[in-house]
Structure 1
Amino acid sequence: MDFFTPPDSKAAATALDVCHEYAEPWLLNHSLRAYAWAVVHAASADIPHDGELLYVAALLHDLALTPPFDSHTMPFEEAGGHLAWVFAAGAGWGRVRRDRLAEVIVLHMRDDVSADEDPESHLLQVAVTADVSGGGLDRFTEQIKDDVVTRFPRLGFAEAFLKRADDQAARKPGCAVAGLMGTGWADRVLANPLDARGR
């Protein structure tokens, strides 16, 4: 299974260019790992999905954590949804597809959705949960875990990500990430077994 090759589209290539420009290496690799986890899970669970939409969402889902796109008035996932909507407009996507991209990004920080109801949001939720806090890693074989982390190393992801998450929670106490901070989530992020791989 080739879960590292992006969809062959201009929008996918441009999303990667944008991430190379704006996302730090640890954040870029997180986004690429998220796509890989999502594709692997989709294949193993037989979940039909829109590959281009999933790839662009995975690449852009955390860009609002970066200084150029950080919003001081809304949660980062909502700001990220707006950013992705503008990106999609520039890519020539129609309004319905732009709205779907924004929705997938917003929902990655919301309650779980089923694969039947919304396959792309479900896949991104599964992928991000595995990569950030280690939840659901048992869905993936040891070989897949090694392959993904070897291809896209963690690069101090947990500490760097939590620094951004702490900042978001402090400035936006009503946001989803602030709610997570009260659940032991930060400890789970720091204890993610993926960080023991490739050392």
Structure 2
Amino acid sequence: MRLQDFDPPRTPASRAAVELAAASHTPALLHHVVRSWLWAEAFALVEDRRGVDHELLYVSAVLHDLGLVPAYDNVSLSYEEAGGHVAVALTAGAGWPAERRRRALEVIVRHNWPSVDPGLDVEGHLLEVATSLDISGARPDLLPREFLLEVLEAYPRLTLADEFTAGVTEQARRKPTTAARRIVEGGVAQKLAHHPLERLDRSRP
């Protein structure tokens, strides 16, 4: 498994999604969403998941934290739902049918579930396990060490720990009934501060 084995889909929706993410996110959060896509695709291989909609997975991965960006924040919706609605609008512009647009919202919302049954939603499952790895440090040993190192060299973690902790804590304060509160109360700050991938990231001092 090598980084070069994974190419983003060459579609209008995929190009628009990553352009929007790049224009909206800090470098640390942009690297996080790209790594999340790479981890998701890697878990699809390791778990031998079939029938994955790779374009849907890519678009959902690169847009999944857009609700943390002030321009796309929502006064009452959770940040994952707010970001999901941006994905719906973007994919509508790319010509996706209504059902597939709704799937982008579902996948992004479900990435913040404690777990997602792959029988219910394989793309939601893959994004959930991928973001659990990148944020909480879950199951790093399931992916080859050399692949982890290669991805971290291309997309270092930078200031993700501080930025994500601050963003999700603010969301939890303003929207205490959303998943952000569970994430904060679950110790996300400590998980990020002692993240196993931080030790592998060769860009760290």
TM-score by length of 2: 0.93
Q: Confirm whether residue 61 of structure 1 aligns to residue 64 of structure 2.
A: yes
Match of 1:111 in 2: 114
What is the alpha-carbon distance in structure 2 between the residues aligned to residue 20 and residue 78 of structure 1?
A: 20
What is the alpha-carbon distance in structure 2 between the residues aligned to residue 83 and residue 32 of structure 1?
A: 17
Match of 2:22 in 1: 20
Shift of 1:3: 4.6
Q: Residues 4-153 of structure 1 correspond to what in structure 2 (within 5 A)?
A: 4-48=6-50, 49-153=52-156
Q: 2:175 aligns with which of 148, 172, 183?
A: 172
Shift of 1:18: 0.9
Q: Confirm whether residue 159 of structure 1 aligns to residue 162 of structure 2.
A: yes
Could you say what secondary structure the match of 2:138 adopts? coil
Could you say what secondary structure the match of 1:46 adopts? coil
What is the alpha-carbon distance in structure 2 between the residues aligned to residue 52 and residue 32 of structure 1?
A: 14
What is the alpha-carbon distance in structure 2 between the residues aligned to residue 3 and residue 75 of structure 1?
A: 34
What is the alpha-carbon distance in structure 2 between the residues aligned to residue 70 and residue 40 of structure 1?
A: 30
What is the alpha-carbon distance in structure 2 between the residues aligned to residue 63 and residue 45 of structure 1?
A: 28
Could you say what secondary structure the match of 1:109 adopts? coil
Shift of 1:72: 1.7
What is the alpha-carbon distance in structure 2 between the residues aligned to residue 185 and residue 20 of structure 1?
A: 24
Match of 2:194 in 1: 191
Amino acid at match of 2:79: F
Task: Show CA shifts across 1:45-70 (max 9, x none).
Answer: 11120100000000000011011101
Shift of 1:8: 1.8
Amino acid at match of 1:165: V
Identity of aligned residues (%): 39
Could you say what secondary structure the match of 1:80 adopts? helix
Q: Which runs of 4 or more aligned residues in structure 1 lie more than 4 Å from their structure 2 counterparts after TM superposition?
A: none
Could you say what secondary structure the match of 2:74 adopts? coil
Shift of 1:74: 1.2
What is the alpha-carbon distance in structure 1 between the residues aligned to residue 41 and residue 185 of structure 2?
A: 31
Q: Confirm whether residue 182 of structure 1 aligns to residue 185 of structure 2.
A: yes
- State the superposition RMSD in angstroms: 1.2
What is the alpha-carbon distance in structure 2 between the residues aligned to residue 3 and residue 121 of structure 1?
A: 22
Amino acid at match of 2:124: S
What is the alpha-carbon distance in structure 1 between the residues aligned to residue 79 and residue 193 of structure 2?
A: 21
Gaps in structure 1 of 5+ consecutive residues: none
Give the number of equivalent residue pairs.
199
Could you say what secondary structure the match of 2:10 adopts? coil
Contact 2:79–2:171 under 8 Å retained in 1:
yes
Gaps in structure 2 of 5+ consecutive residues: none
Contact 2:16–2:90 under 8 Å retained in 1:
no
